[in-house]
Structure 1
Amino acid sequence: MPSPVKSPAAGPAPWIAMYHSVGDCSDDPYRVTVSPDRLERQLRWLCRRGLRGVSVAELLAARDRGGGRDLVGLTFDDGYADFLGNALPVLDRWGCTATLFVLPGRFGGDNAWDPLGPRKPLLTAEGVRRAAGRGVEIGSHGLAHIDLTRIDDIRLKAETAESRAVLEELTGTPVTGFCYPYGTVDRRVVAAVREAGYAYGCAIDPGALSGRHVLPRVHIGQDDTAVRLFLKRRLHRLRRRPVEGLR
């Protein structure tokens, strides 16, 4: 009699922080910006608790080896131009790495998808190449920052597979991570990301979906002081279900 097929092992959901822009917070209707000083304080909070911020690829590799409980994933969505001058120096000071999810269809443009503004410039192709050269993991955020659950299969393939090909040619390194614009995701989109060859995908709150291609994340903003970070980390441990395929 054949042995029953075992379900993939499930381990605690990793703590992955979701950042966007690092700069001036005076006009920030979507709460996508933290100041360099606030980022500095947040990374100091991590380090004083024996935690270290790393790229998602590094975090998952550590988990595969049975470790990584002292690591926190740091992600920066959209590829804002201020990453190089404002975020990267702070990350370097605290010995942290990160994953930068960029939009190859909008290199050198701005965040036109945010109707209330303010307009924030995005990295050029050369800026993305510079970030990769500094050890930052580059991941895809799709081509143009659109809701992938609302487009047809042909365009979905472009947003996933073609964006990956462009970034790999640009950086000369494998691109293994994908981030869903707006955090919206369904089974069809997850399947497209998996078929495009990504090793993992980052969502926000994936609901009933689970696995490496729908990793949950925690939004981190300007208001997140030490107390709020402590509570967010505690709630993440209590509320997030184990993730299939992680130890």
Structure 2
Amino acid sequence: MPVAADPTDPTDSTDPAPRTDTPPVVPRVAPLWVAMYHSVGDCSDDPYRITVSPDRLDRQLGWLHRRGLRGVGMADLLAAHARGEGKGLVGLTFDDGYADFADHALPVLQRWGFGATVFVLPGRLGGTNEWDPLGPRKPLLSANGIRRLADTEGLEIASHGLTHVDLTLADDALLGAEVGGSRALLSELTGRQVAGLCYPYGTVDQRVADAVRAAGYGYACAIDPGPLTGVFALPRVHIGENDTSWRLRLKYGLNRLRRRPVPLAAADAVPEEAR
């Protein structure tokens, strides 16, 4: 608050210089809505409920479109919000880097003019989802498949770690390899800076979030990060085959009530060349 002028001095008619010890106000954006997908294909054998049929995905993206919403990748979403241009944008993410993304998800995204982020595992190129004990075994993207997606307009390739391990249970050496090593491999593979990481199983604690920041990432996605908040603990909403229009409407509404805003200052850390 400005200090009042001295009433005894008629020449004192200006306010003094503003205080410099007041902490800066960090602008915040409304809670982000980020959809979490995995595999897109046949849902007949799906014990973990991670698969969405192409037809269901098409109807879900159509639901977004009819409401004036547009799906984009995470780097684009954060950059738009940092510029104050994020209204009407939602994040679309696909975990694990399943090969069926190129065959089934990409054509649907392109039909609606949407973008997305694909979180891949450079330590399992051309492999399968061995971490799921109940199966079924699904092929993962190869190196060439990842390169092709990286060259596709509107798509962002980001890290899911090297081999899909719970990072909160990893020792420091393994954590460094899974976080920093995967970023280096993906950057070499795609010829682009890798802006983001998605925590396998959605698990994150402060040690892991700090390691991700130190490795040079600009953001990281979780599922429900608990007490952590900010651009390195971004929550997401699971979307599955059973999510019809009324369930999407409910999830979209609840997200604005349950989630906390994200500090804008952190969003500026997303590298320009990765967008």
| TM above 0.5 | yes
Aligned twin of 2:248: 229
Aligned twin of 2:15: none
Instruction: Find out whether 1:94 has 2:116 as its counterpart.
Output: no
Q: Distance in 2 between matches of 1:65 and 1:8?
A: 14
Aligned twin of 2:130: 112
Query: 1:174: how far off?
Result: 1.0
Q: Distance in 2 between matches of 1:199 and 1:212?
A: 8
Q: Is the 8 A contact 2:73 2:115 kept in 1?
A: yes
Q: Distance in 1 between matches of 2:146 and 2:187?
A: 11
Aligned twin of 2:178: 159
Aligned twin of 1:200: 219
Query: 1:32: how far off?
Result: 0.5
State which of 155, 179, 191 in structure 1 corresponds to 2:210.
191
Q: Is the 8 A contact 2:81 2:264 kept in 1?
A: no
Coordinate RMSD, CA, aligned? 1.2
State which of 87, 101, 121 in structure 2 corresponds to 1:103.
121
Aligned twin of 2:142: 124
Per the normalisation by structure 2, the TM-score is 0.87
State which of 70, 89, 103 in structure 2 corresponds to 1:52.
70
Instruction: Find out whether 1:36 has 2:54 as its counterpart.
Output: yes
DSSP 3-state at the match of 1:110: coil
Query: 1:208: how far off?
Result: 1.1
DSSP 3-state at the match of 1:214: coil
Aligned twin of 1:25: 43
DSSP 3-state at the match of 1:72: strand
Query: 1:12: how far off?
Result: 1.6
Unaligned runs of 5+ in 1: none
Q: Distance in 1 between matches of 2:28 and 2:112?
A: 31
Query: 1:128: how far off?
Result: 0.5
Unaligned runs of 5+ in 2: 1-18, 268-275
Q: Is the 8 A contact 2:147 2:190 kept in 1?
A: yes
Q: Is the 8 A contact 1:79 1:102 kept in 2?
A: yes
DSSP 3-state at the match of 1:26: coil
Query: 1:67: how far off?
Result: 1.7
